[in-house]
Amino acid sequence: MVKALDSDSEYEDVKAAYELYVFLSVPQTYKDSPKKVVGLNFVDQAIITKYLQYEGLVKIKQAFDTVKAMNAKHFSVKEKDAILASIAAHKKLPRDPKTIFNNDLVFGAIDSPTPEIEKRYLVLATEDIKYAEEADKRFEKIKKGSSSFTKDMIYAMKYYNGMTDFQKKFFTQTTLYNTYKKYDKASSIEGKVDTIPEAVLAIVQFEDAVRTAMEIHDTINQSEVIDPELYTVIMGQIVIAYKQYDFLNREFTIEGQKVRLLEMVSNSIRSDYVILKNAYDVNEYLNGLKK
């Protein structure tokens, strides 16, 4: 059974080997045996070693089964722990077991147009979980009346607005968010920026523009044939980011506290902005629009 396992095997083959492994691991009473023995002790070590290479597939499936609904608004603590276990098991998979994972529909649809509802993509959620956990920490840090309240609130709301719907499934501080919801981003900026919601909006507008532009930039770099429309779209986003960068690069008085909003932009976003600015000539583009 284990000898036959390879990249062309199906999950059910691995599951059958797992069930036999579990059975052989438990002390049993065999005919003509005066005491219970562990059958696994009589299995060739090379067979056990090969089996263990595939066992992670069962751990991943068990973890996936713990996740009740992919369309749930939030994952429970138990579900999050299971997802983390699936990520750890997936990282350890050798080539052949990983091929089974990639090809077997028991782990979810392949190339789905809606990957956010397919459990197989949970093993890729490491960065999503990290971002949600950082958002949690930002909300936990807020202390009403503290000297850093304004900055802490802007950071927390900025992180909240930076989360995708999928990342929000891992966000645990919903009660704190609802408590401070009045500080969430404004719908628009009226005059000068002097409130927390307006400050949050100003930062979110910059970060969203950079994220969108980087997604298009990656698409352009990965395409053999480039759609000219992509250049127009990416330049539009870079212009928004360019103007927002200059706007944020000053000192603001927010709720009576001096704040430099540009310093509150994520380091990764600022790095991506530099990449975009170096790759595309914004001034040349703007001058061309004036002609």
pLDDT in tens, 101-146: 999 999 999 888 888 889 999 999 999 999 999 999 999 999 988 9
Give mean pLDDT, residues 56-78.
95
Residues 6+ apart with CB under 8 A from 120: 64, 101, 107, 108, 109, 110
Residue 36 pLDDT? 85
In this predicted structure, the answer to whether residue 49 has a pLDDT above a threshold of 80 is yes
pTM score, two decimals? 0.85
What band does 291 get if pLDDT is binned at 50, 70 and 90? very low
Residue 282 pLDDT? 73
Residue 239 pLDDT? 92
In this predicted structure, the answer to whether residue 283 has a pLDDT above a threshold of 70 is no
In this predicted structure, the answer to whether residue 156 has a pLDDT above a threshold of 60 is yes
- Angle, helices 228-248/196-222, rounded to nearest 10 degrees: 150
From 106, 116, 105, select the one nearest 70 (Cα to Cα): 116
CB environment 255-282: b (16+ within 10 A), e (fewer): eeeebebbebbbeebeebbeebeeebee
CB atoms within 10 A of CB 290: 5
In this predicted structure, the answer to whether residue 288 has a pLDDT above a threshold of 60 is no
Give mean pLDDT, residues 78-107.
97
Name beta bridge partners: 260: 251
Least confident of 73-77, 87-91, 266-270, 287-291: 287-291
Compute the mean pLDDT over every residue in the chain, rounded to the nearest whole number: 92
Residue 137 pLDDT? 97
In this predicted structure, the answer to whether residue 218 has a pLDDT above a threshold of 80 is yes
Tokens linked to 210: 């950079």
In this predicted structure, the answer to whether residue 154 has a pLDDT above a threshold of 80 is yes
Residue 170 burial (CB < 10 Å; 0-12/13-18/19+)?
Answer: buried
Residue 114 burial (CB < 10 Å; 0-12/13-18/19+)?
Answer: exposed
